[in-house]
């Protein structure tokens, strides 16, 4: 029996699974989906957590499994791969744009936001290394005076 889908279909379906902590980006845009394999009619999705203690990984795995089951994948397997470790370099350009549109400054190699995601001012300051989730820091714009999250560079 031939499967009514292929790996491209699965990637497209996974691109509709939102990150539970930042629902404007998908798990594909986040870069945590490392591989999609179909072998002997068994689908395996390999996922790399953003960091080893990420509390969202169980939700992400369940959401992936639920999406695949709804699409007719029988007994999908979710495999966790911790090496190589996830890095913010794996965020897609689409994901970075969606973060900024949502009001979260995307990670920058320089270690801080390039500008305020709300008014685009470059006059920003760090308020706290700790934000609403472990992967974010709290910053503030000195022009519009609004606080915003910055997705830490990892």
Q: Is residue 2 part of a domain?
A: no
Q: How sure is the predictor about 144, in pLDDT bands with cuts at 50, 70 and 90? A: very high
Same-domain status, 80 and 108: no
Q: Is residue 123 part of a domain?
A: yes
| 1 pLDDT more than 70 | no
What share of the chain in percent tops pLDDT 90?
80
pLDDT for the residue numbered 97? 96
Same-domain status, 109 and 81: no
Q: Is residue 92 part of a domain?
A: no
User: Which of 98, 94, 137 has the alpha carbon at shortest distance from 117?
Assistant: 98
Same-domain status, 11 and 73: yes
8 A C-beta contact, residue 88 and residue 151: yes
Q: Final residue of a domain: which of 87, 120, 142?
A: 87
Q: How sure is the predictor about 110, in pLDDT bands with cuts at 50, 70 and 90? A: confident
Write the CB contacts of 105 (distance below 8 Å, at least 6 apart in sequence): 99, 113, 114, 115, 116, 117, 139, 148, 149, 150, 151
What's the domain count of the chain? 2
Q: In which domain, by residue range, is 13 found?
A: 7-87
CATH of the domain at 70: 3.30.300.130
């Amino acid at each position: 029996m031939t499967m009514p889908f292929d790996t491209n279909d699965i990637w497209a379906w996974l691109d509709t699974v939102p990150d539970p902590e930042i629902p404007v980006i998908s798990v594909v845009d986040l870069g945590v989906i490392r591989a999609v394999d179909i072998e002997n009619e068994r689908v395996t999705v390999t996922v790399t957590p953003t960091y080893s203690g990420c509390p969202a990984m169980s939700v992400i795995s369940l959401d992936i499994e639920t999406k695949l089951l709804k699409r007719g994948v029988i007994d999908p397997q979710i495999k966790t791969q911790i090496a190589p470790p996830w890095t913010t370099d794996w965020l897609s350009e689409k994901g970075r744009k969606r973060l900024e549109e949502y009001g979260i400054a995307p990670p920058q190699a320089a270690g801080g936001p390039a500008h305020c995601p709300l008014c685009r001012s470059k006059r920003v300051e760090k308020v706290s290394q700790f934000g609403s989730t472990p992967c974010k820091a709290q910053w503030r714009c000195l022009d519009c005076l609004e606080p915003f999250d910055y997705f830490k560079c990892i």
